[in-house]
Amino acid sequence: MTTATRVRPRVEGDWLFVPVPQPHRPFRLFCFPHAGGDATAYTPLARALAPTAEVWAVRPPARGGRLGHPMPASFDLLVDAVVEALTPHLTGRFGFYGQSFGALLGYEVARALPAERRPELVVAASASPPAAWAGRDRPRHTADDLLRLAGMGELVEGEADLKEHALRGIRTDLDVVATYRPRPHPPIGSHLHTVVGVEDPLLTAGGLDGWSVHTRGNSGHHVVPGGHLLATVDGPGPVDVLTSLIARPGAAAQPTTEFSC
């Protein structure tokens, strides 16, 4: 039995979930869920990255164990709340990973931190660069489309209450991101890499153009097997990419490549 299967998950305050605590102090990877997503979706990734990294997943309000907690009224207030929750835990080596909505949130949290407290690595998966999110209206998708894109379609099929809770979380996040307004700012010093699934129905590798201007560090694009959501309850996502970047975050950017997950 491995360490990853022996340890019990733990919650740190309201905002953080550690699916696979590590007995030593490895690289700490803070993970930001997609719209409607919950921190528990990062459990397979946490198991796959142990013992190289310890995953700390952000627990957004209005879903899962925080169903009764209100979401901050704007994207800026959400960033402030996450910064406050993360700051006591930003010690040693650490980085951020986010998917879709979570990629934008992770980047803006990194930017909001003091320069000396920022992550050494930011990985934005399945997300357009910040300028593309400006004033974005809620997508005109049906409820079933929203659930499918959030990776919850089969999970809530035939369960009316679960379906309603899931839709509430998705719509809450979409309402918050609609308040997002990017502001001019100097690039951050964190290394900034982007990832997209080769079968992503919402984004192509070209849709990642524009992220590199936001960093003074190294940057690179990575194309991996998968669709829009990479790390889910059913699979760990871009483990090879993350393991490689954690091992060598300052390496020179490589051409767009494809990794197996």
Q: Is residue 167 part of a domain?
A: no
Task: Tell me the DSSP string of 111-152.
Answer: HHS-GGGS-SEEEEES---GGGGTTPPPP---HHHHHHHTT-
Q: Is residue 156 part of a domain?
A: no
The CATH number for 79's domain is: 3.40.50.1820
Q: How many domains does the chain have?
A: 1
Q: Is residue 158 part of a domain?
A: no
**For residue 33, which of 151, 159, 121, 207 has the smallest C-alpha distance?**
151
pLDDT per residue, tens digit, the chain (261 aa), is: 454 456 799 999 999 999 999 988 899 999 999 988 899 999 999 999 999 999 999 999 988 889 889 999 999 999 999 999 999 999 999 999 999 999 999 999 999 999 999 999 999 999 999 998 875 555 555 545 555 555 554 554 555 555 566 677 788 888 899 999 998 899 999 999 999 999 998 887 778 889 999 999 999 999 999 988 899 988 999 999 999 999 975 554 444 444 433
pTM (predicted TM-score): 0.88
**CA angle 82–64–4, rounded 5-degree value:** 80
| Structure confidence at residue 253 (pLDDT) | 43
Q: Is residue 21 part of a domain?
A: yes
Structural domain including 64 reads: 3-138+177-258
Q: Is residue 205 part of a domain?
A: yes
| Structure confidence at residue 256 (pLDDT) | 44
Q: Is residue 165 part of a domain?
A: no
Q: Is residue 153 part of a domain?
A: no
Distance separating alpha carbons of residues 154 and 159, to the nearest angstrom? 10
> Is residue 186 reached through a cis peptide bond, with omega within 30 degrees of 0 on the bond before it?
no
Q: Is residue 78 part of a domain?
A: yes
